[in-house]
């Protein structure tokens, strides 16, 4: 990319605060003040979803809301007008550093600092970068659960094959709908041994809708890590994609060493964007896997023939190379939209809509709810079965009524509905009526 032409090695462009950098034509980033109340009709109008369907699968891949579409288009125009805008936006201190600006916005939402965030394309890539980069010694193991997604299990398996670590899975419950916080935490606490180098879990399971008590799990690990050397510490790695943007919790307060999530689901950000977030003390436990374009030190080490220090920083883990830059930079608009609506109110709306699904389906004869009824152990995904009907048949029949639902892609599959902020209570009620009709 010719970064030396601009004196990249001589300038600390990535350490300059975004507020001190000149924008020079970059779209404005000022957040609108949070209104006293949210107009949910206005919110629905921000999405270009087909109006004659009820869209209950936005947790899969969200439709870009209007502010995000406009941000993507603005950055696309800038790049099309001048492709070197990419170099200027990433490396030239005379311009505003856009990756830093995005991470600064994300840090406001997640908690913590911008330098604790690595930008990645999605949850799957983020998990692979974490497990592949994990510093593991011979004889250590990676512990996970029987309930995690293919991407999580495969990322662990591929990394363990290279490192020689063993892999073990534990069941968290005998049925998600009957699970309790104490049971989940105790099963994990008992499963951790002195050989356990990492514990990988998922915040909200897309298989059942179960939400794990991450803070309680982190607290249970603290006494188990007491007295361990840094290289033997059990790290908590969380797939957080179905909690981020749906729950009113600060990621920084969850206690995870590494929190991995795509932003193109509940966060409403552009497709192909995600994060790995961890406190500064956690990052030295990883090695970078893909050369980065977001930090000075790896490039400087290469250019001067020096060895890269072992004290990894988050930016070193952000994959470099050319990508859809307008999508990554457009992620800031999604954060601003959440800030405008208010995280607590977004979470309350999602809880209200999906709570109605859980409550009404649990009371419907011949419908078996697999998602816990408790708000503390659930979020925005509701999984269920209708007696006598395969999950795919339930989904097909709902599609025939112009209701988009899904099946969970696991060995044991269930039908799923999920109401995001673009859904109305009336649409939830209509869907419940159609499911009751199927059950009848």
pLDDT given for residue 311 in this prediction = 92
Q: Are 195 and 139 in contact (CB under 8 A)?
A: yes
Domain assignment present for residue 256? The answer is yes
Domain assignment present for residue 428? The answer is yes
Q: Do 298 and 349 fall within a single domain?
A: no
In this structure, of 87-101, 327-341, 361-375, the range with the lowest mean pLDDT score is 87-101
Model pTM score? 0.93
Q: Do 392 and 315 fall within a single domain?
A: no
Helix-, strand-, coil-residue percentages of the chain, each rounded to 5: 45, 15, 40
Instruction: Give the helix/strand (H/E) hosting 26.
Output: none
* pLDDT band per the 50, 70, 90 thresholds, residue 221: very high
Average pLDDT over residues 83-109: 92
Domain assignment present for residue 182? The answer is yes
pLDDT given for residue 52 in this prediction = 97
Q: Do 189 and 115 fall within a single domain?
A: yes
Q: Do 284 and 305 fall within a single domain?
A: yes
pLDDT given for residue 7 in this prediction = 37
Strands 367-369 and 382-386: antiparallel
Structural domain harbouring 380: 343-439
Domain assignment present for residue 156? The answer is yes
pLDDT given for residue 22 in this prediction = 36
Domain assignment present for residue 31? The answer is no
Q: Do 303 and 411 fall within a single domain?
A: no
* pLDDT band per the 50, 70, 90 thresholds, residue 25: very low
pLDDT given for residue 10 in this prediction = 31
- Among candidate residues 293, 318, 339, the one where a domain is terminated: 339
Q: Do 116 and 144 fall within a single domain?
A: yes
Q: What are phi and psi of 235, to 5 degrees?
A: -90, 140
Judge residue 365's burial from the number of C-beta atoms within 10 Å of its C-beta, 0-12 exposed, 13-18 middle, 19 or more buried: exposed
- Among candidate residues 292, 320, 339, the one where a domain is terminated: 339
Q: Do 143 and 253 fall within a single domain?
A: yes
Q: Are 405 and 417 in contact (CB under 8 A)?
A: yes
For residue 234, give the CATH number of its domain. Answer: 3.40.640.10
pLDDT given for residue 238 in this prediction = 98
The rounded distance, in Å, linking the Cα atoms of 203 and 126 is 15
For residue 370, give the CATH number of its domain. Answer: 3.90.1150.10
Provide the domain count of the chain: 2
Q: Are 214 and 254 in contact (CB under 8 A)?
A: yes
* pLDDT band per the 50, 70, 90 thresholds, residue 62: very high
Domain assignment present for residue 35? The answer is no
pLDDT given for residue 342 in this prediction = 96
pLDDT given for residue 92 in this prediction = 78
Question: In the chain, what percentage of residues exceed pLDDT 90?
Answer: 89
Average pLDDT over residues 177-188: 97
Q: Do 251 and 300 fall within a single domain?
A: yes
The rounded distance, in Å, linking the Cα atoms of 109 and 6 is 33
Q: Do 385 and 237 fall within a single domain?
A: no
Q: Do 118 and 263 fall within a single domain?
A: yes
pLDDT at position 3 over 50: no
Mean pLDDT across the chain, nearest whole number? 92
CB atoms within 10 A of CB 375: 15
Q: Are 220 and 234 in contact (CB under 8 A)?
A: no
- Among candidate residues 314, 339, 364, the one where a domain is terminated: 339
- Angstrom distances, CA of residue 421 to CA of 63, 228, 245, 333, 365: 12, 44, 10, 16, 28
Question: In the chain, what percentage of residues exceed pLDDT 70?
Answer: 92
Q: Do 303 and 350 fall within a single domain?
A: no
Instruction: Give the helix/strand (H/E) hosting 259.
Output: strand 258-262
Domain assignment present for residue 370? The answer is yes
Distance in angstroms between the alpha carbons of the first and the last residue of the chain:
63
The rounded distance, in Å, linking the Cα atoms of 233 and 397 is 50
The rounded distance, in Å, linking the Cα atoms of 18 and 127 is 28
Domain assignment present for residue 385? The answer is yes
Q: Do 385 and 410 fall within a single domain?
A: yes
């Amino acid at each position: 990319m010719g970064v030396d032409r601009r004196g990249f090695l001589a300038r600390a462009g990535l350490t300059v605060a975004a507020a001190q950098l000149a924008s020079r034509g970059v779209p404005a980033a000022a957040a609108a003040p949070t209104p006293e109340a949210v107009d949910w009709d206005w919110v629905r109008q921000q999405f270009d979803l087909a109006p004659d369907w009820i869209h209950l699968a936005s947790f899969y891949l969200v439709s870009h809301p209007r502010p995000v579409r406009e941000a993507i288009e603005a950055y696309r125009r800038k790049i099309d007008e001048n492709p070197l805008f990419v170099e200027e936006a990433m490396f030239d201190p005379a311009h505003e550093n856009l990756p830093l600006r995005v991470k600064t916005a994300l840090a406001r939402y997640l908690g913590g600092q911008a330098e604790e965030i690595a930008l990645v394309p999605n949850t799957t890539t983020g998990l692979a970068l974490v497990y592949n980069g994990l510093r593991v010694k011979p004889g250590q193991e990676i512990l996970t659960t029987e309930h995690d997604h293919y991407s999580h299990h495969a990322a662990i398996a591929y990394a363990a094959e290279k490192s020689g670590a063993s892999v073990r899975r534990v069941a968290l419950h005998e049925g998600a709908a009957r699970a309790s916080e104490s049971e989940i935490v105790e099963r994990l606490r008992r499963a951790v041994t002195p050989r356990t180098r990492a514990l990988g879990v998922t915040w909200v399971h897309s298989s059942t809708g179960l939400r794990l008590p991450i803070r309680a799990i982190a607290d249970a690990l603290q006494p188990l890590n007491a007295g361990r050397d840094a290289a033997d510490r059990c790290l908590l790695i969380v797939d957080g994609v179905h909690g981020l943007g749906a729950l009113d919790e600060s990621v920084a307060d969850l206690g995870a060493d590494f929190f991995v999530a795509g932003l193109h689901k509940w966060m409403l950000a552009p497709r192909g964007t995600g994060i790995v977030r961890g406190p500064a003390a956690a990052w030295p436990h990883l090695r970078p896997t893909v050369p980065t374009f977001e930090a000075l030190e790896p490039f400087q080490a290469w250019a001067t023939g020096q060895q890269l220090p072992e004290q990894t920083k988050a930016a070193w883990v952000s994959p470099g190379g050319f990508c859809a830059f307008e999508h990554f930079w457009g992620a800031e608009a999604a954060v601003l939209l959440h800030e405008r609506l208010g995280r607590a109110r977004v979470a309350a709306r999602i809880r209200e809509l999906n709570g109605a699904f859980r409550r009404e389906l649990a009371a419907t004869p011949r419908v078996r709810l697999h998602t816990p009824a408790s708000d503390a152990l659930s979020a925005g995904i509701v999984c269920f079965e209708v007696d006598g009907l395969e999950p795919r048949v339930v989904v097909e029949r709902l599609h025939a009524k112009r209701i988009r639902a899904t099946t969970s892609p696991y060995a044991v599959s269930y039908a799923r509905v999920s109401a995001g902020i673009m859904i109305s209570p009336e649409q939830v009620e209509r869907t419940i009526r159609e499911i009751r009709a199927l059950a009848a």
